[in-house]
Amino acid sequence: MEAGIGATDACVSEFNKIKMSKSSRYIIYHIVDKRQVEIESIGERTASYEDFLKALPRTSPRYVVYDFNYTTNEVPPREVEKLLFVYWCPDEAEVKEKMVYATTKESFKKKLVGLAKDIQAKDIGDLDHKSLIDALRG
């Protein structure tokens, strides 16, 4: 990965599990000691969207893969699941920490093949459920 930051094998392995077997609802990744991306937490398959939002730290960046369900506008409507990559970078985070996450984002994301949408969020309002649905439908 760029900037000398690697990712553990578990990062990709857990991503593949969520992609192929729907093993969990979300994975939150963090950078440890400015050296490597690791899994911080995994949300149970039954976890709600609100549970995910509560799990995000308010003052520190994170990467998230979220298996997002929504109903299409097609006739007849159908239920769809898409894997979202969320770059969570709150305004309250330290500048150096934001820079480390920003420079690592693309190289980390390339390891996660099969993402439907890339979302960047600075506050919880950016992760409004309806806005994400609109972005996926659009």
pLDDT, tens digit (0-9, with 9 covering 90-100), for 120-137: 999 999 999 988 888 887
Nearest partner of 128 among 65, 52, 76, judged by Cα: 52
Residue 89 CA, distance from chain mean position: 11
Are the CB atoms for 119 and 135 separated by under 8 Å?
A: yes
Mean pLDDT, residues 31-43: 95
What is the pLDDT, as a whole number, of residue 137?
Answer: 78
pTM (two decimals): 0.93
Rounded to whole angstroms, the Cα distance separating 84 from 63 reads 10
CB neighbours of 18 closer than 8 A, spacing ≥ 6? 24, 26, 27, 65, 67, 83
